[in-house]
Amino acid sequence: MKIKYCQKYEKYVSQRHCEFFNEGAQCEYYSPKCWNSIKDLLADQGRPKWDVNAVIKPFKCNLLDREYLNLLNRKKRLRKGAIAARG
């Protein structure tokens, strides 16, 4: 999933959001700069310094890959297990 930045919202948006809500390349706020993932976005030192956690995305637009989401779920389960073992 491509991530773009939108000068209209001053936030990062998914490419789908850009095309669907802002007419894509015809939009007056369009920028050709894009990133393939949030990891690439965070690694880019020259990116606009907007909040990466506030990416605007349309329904069913997955920016995080499945591996990252599984890792978050595993960490959550481990914390719950540790809390249950204490109590």
pTM higher than the cut 0.85: no
**Are the beta carbons of 72 and 62 closer than 8 angstroms?**
no
| Domain range for 39 | 3-86
Strands (E), the chain: 3-6, 11-14, 34-35
Q: pLDDT tens digits for 21-50?
A: 777 778 888 888 888 888 888 888 888 777
**Are the beta carbons of 10 and 51 closer than 8 angstroms?**
no
Position 62 scores a pLDDT of: 53
Domain count within the chain: 1
Position 67 scores a pLDDT of: 66
Position 58 scores a pLDDT of: 57
